[in-house]
């Protein structure tokens, strides 16, 4: 298939592009480069030994998207474009609602005009809110999210659910990621957020590399074994493979399909810090601070459904996540 990836130079989008190309698909990338670099396109070409089509545009710009869709004529879309920082969403909620929800609605209108109805959405476990029903399954109730970022994901899911109910020709897959980490094992692409990272693994890696003085651990008084938050960390390449499997199994299969992408196991912040130091031999100093607004105590996935229906399973260990993140960080540090 020819697959359009929004947010295609970002963390999830770029890794998904590699795995789609490896599986024999053609990809077209769209990104406004608000939190990524066009250099990623060149690295993707080096990794895949192919010419990767890229358009710098905003998905919420109907004129730009019409031109791109006319030219690319994709058969499916993987929608990764979104603002994604939890803390930032708390301080800038209007920006998040306009970009994530408004941008998605305008993208869907563009796709309708062009008859593109195979759609894989980059959703999040944040749609489950602060639930104490663990592990979280696809049947767990979605609820008011703990932060505006999560609320935008929940709203986008509702938009897509309503669209598919109104027009049954749509095949819509909601992939609820848990916590994607790591990098491509080549070290050519990875997560390199601007400024101080909002996500744990790149933050740990930058501290280990000496680019930041210490890791800020937000809260050690949660009801968890060591008091720090627990998350289901899953390798980004496993996440990318999930998109490939979803497209291959569900394109042109009308309906709304929901799957968790996680490992089914949670690790605390301090467990990740310890695993990173053990895997890399690097010290990661940290300081305990107060809880961060919008964070929940613990979350991890039930992955029974995605294994049974799509045959997908996360295969990469926490050690591999740490090693690949470190390999990428070394390259990033060296420019």
Q: Which active-site residues does the annotation give?
A: 149
Q: Would you state the pLDDT for residue 193?
A: 72
* Distance from chain centroid for Cα 51: 24
Report yes or no on whether pTM surpasses 0.85: yes
Q: Would you state the pLDDT for residue 283?
A: 97
Domain 2-183+232-263+302-314 homologous superfamily, CATH: NAD(P)-binding Rossmann-like Domain (3.40.50.720)
- Per-residue pLDDT tens digits of the chain, which is 335 residues long: 999 999 999 999 999 999 999 999 999 999 999 989 999 999 999 999 999 999 999 999 999 999 999 999 999 999 999 998 888 899 999 999 999 999 999 999 999 999 999 999 999 998 998 888 899 999 999 988 878 999 999 999 999 999 999 999 999 999 999 999 999 999 999 987 777 788 899 999 999 999 999 999 999 999 999 999 999 999 999 999 999 999 999 999 999 999 999 999 999 999 999 999 999 999 999 999 999 887 889 999 999 999 999 999 999 999 999 999 999 999 887 76
CA distance 271 to 119: 36
CA distance 138 to 130: 15
Q: Would you state the pLDDT for residue 335?
A: 63
User: Count of alpha carbons within 13 Å of 30, Cβ hemisphere only?
Assistant: 25
Collect all residues with Cβ–Cβ distance below 8 Å to 284 and sequence separation of at least 6: 204, 207, 208, 215, 273, 276, 277
Alpha carbon distances (Å) from 289 to 194, 201, 208, 284: 22, 18, 19, 16
Torsion angle of alpha carbons 200, 204, 205, 210, nearest 10°?
Answer: 140
- Structure tokens that stand for 99 in this block: 């970009």
């Amino acid at each position: 298939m020819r697959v359009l990836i929004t947010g295609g130079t970002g963390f999830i989008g770029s890794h998904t592009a590699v795995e789609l190309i490896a599986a024999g698909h053609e990809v077209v990338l769209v990104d406004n480069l608000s939190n990524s670099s066009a250099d990623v396109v060149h690295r993707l070409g080096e990794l895949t030994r192919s010419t990767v089509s890229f358009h710098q545009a905003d998905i919420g710009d109907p004129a730009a998207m019409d031109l791109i869709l006319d030219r690319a004529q994709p058969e499916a879309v993987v929608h990764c474009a979104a603002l994604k920082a939890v803390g930032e969403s708390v301080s800038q909620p209007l920006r998040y609602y306009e970009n994530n929800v408004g941008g998605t609605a305008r993208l869907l209108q563009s796709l309708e005009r062009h008859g593109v109805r195979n759609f894989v959405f980059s959703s999040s476990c944040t749609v489950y809110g602060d639930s104490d029903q663990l592990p979280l399954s696809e049947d767990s109730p979605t609820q008011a999210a703990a932060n505006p970022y999560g609320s935008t994901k929940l709203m986008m899911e509702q938009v897509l659910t309503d669209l598919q109910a109104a027009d049954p020709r749509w095949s819509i897959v909601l992939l609820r990621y848990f916590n994607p980490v790591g990098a491509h094992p080549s070290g050519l692409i990875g997560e390199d957020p601007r400024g101080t990272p909002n996500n744990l693994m790149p933050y740990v890696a930058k501290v280990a590399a000496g680019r930041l003085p210490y890791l800020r651990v937000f809260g050690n008084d949660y009801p968890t074994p060591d008091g720090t938050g627990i998350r289901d960390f899953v390798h980004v390449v496993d996440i990318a493979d999930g998109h490939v499997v979803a497209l291959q199994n569900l394109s042109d299969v009308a309906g709304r399909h929901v799957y968790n992408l996680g490992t089914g196991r949670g690790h605390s912040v301090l467990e990740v810090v310890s695993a990173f130091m053990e895997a890399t031999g690097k010290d990661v100093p940290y300081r305990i601070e107060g809880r961060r607004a919008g964070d929940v105590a613990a979350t991890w996935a039930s992955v029974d459904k995605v294994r049974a229906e799509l045959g997908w399973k996360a295969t990469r260990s926490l050690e591999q996540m740490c090693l690949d993140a470190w390999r990428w960080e070394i390259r990033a540090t060296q420019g």
